[in-house]
Structure 1
Amino acid sequence: MILELADIRIQAGKQAEFDQAILKGLNEVIAHAKGYRGFKVNKGIESPERYVLMIFWDTLENHTIDFRQSEAFTAWRAIVGPYFAVPPVVEHFDLLGKSV
């Protein structure tokens, strides 16, 4: 399983609107993507315009090719993109270990 980690910075004062938009985009668009396994999104306390989005994929290609090169990506960006202060920083990770 691959973890996509997106560090998102939004425009000041738009948190309530973005909270609704990101959940809508995740549940209505990304949740139907090939290889999608789940998500976690956290919002900043000290930096209220910062969000950390974690999306779990079966493979790297499920995100980078199947999703990013689809019309679903365009739909996702139409929902969340208007709130971005800067483009998100996105990286991918393999699990090394975990504790429950």
Structure 2
Amino acid sequence: MAVIEHALLPVRPGMEAAFEAAFAEARPLIEASPGFLGIAIHRPLESGAAYLLLARWRSVADHRDGFRMSDRYRRWRALLHPFYDPVPEVNYFGEDI
């Protein structure tokens, strides 16, 4: 069973274009991670709303103990976290019921 990582990404107002460019640069970092199955990021339709990130992993451990403990994550964080206010909260979900 795959795991869905869910995060709302509160990008600072006025920084959306720069965030999207940074995300395009960061995307290969997560895609190269063992256990990674796919990612989708959705733009907000309302001003000031957060982006929605949905990533699929083989397991929570692949994300939390694999990617988040890697050098790839340190680079991901350096590229993307300056855009967030506050830092996003990550939740995990199982597949459809």
| Alignment check: 8 A CA contact 1:11 1:49 kept | no
**Residue number in structure 1 paired with 2:36:** 36
Q: Which amino acid aligns with 1:16?
A: A
Q: CA deviation at 1:30?
A: 0.3
- Aligned runs of 1:36-75 on 2, under 5 Å? 36-75=36-75
Q: How many Å apart are 1:23 and its aligned residue?
A: 2.3
From the two aligned structures, give the one with the greater strand fraction.
1
Note the residue ranges of structure 1 that are not aligned, 5 or more in a row: none
Residues 12-69 of structure 1 show CA distances to partners (whole Å, capped at 9, x for unaligned) of: 100011111112211x200000100110100111134510001110111000101111
TM-score by length of 1: 0.89
CA RMSD of aligned residues (A): 1.2
Identity of aligned residues (%): 26
CA displacement at 1:90 relative to structure 2? 0.6
CA contact (8 A) 1:15 1:48 kept: no
**Could you tell me how far apart the structure 2 residues matched to 1:87 and 1:47 are?**
19
| SS of corresponding position for 1:44 | coil
1:95 match: secondary structure? coil
Unaligned runs of 5+ in 2: none
Distance in 1, Cα, partners of 2:48 & 2:33: 29
Counterparts of 2:49 and 2:19, CA distance in 1: 10
Counterpart code for 2:3: I
Moved over 2 A (4+): none
- Count matched residues: 96
Residues of 1 paired with 2:14 and 2:36: CA distance?
A: 31
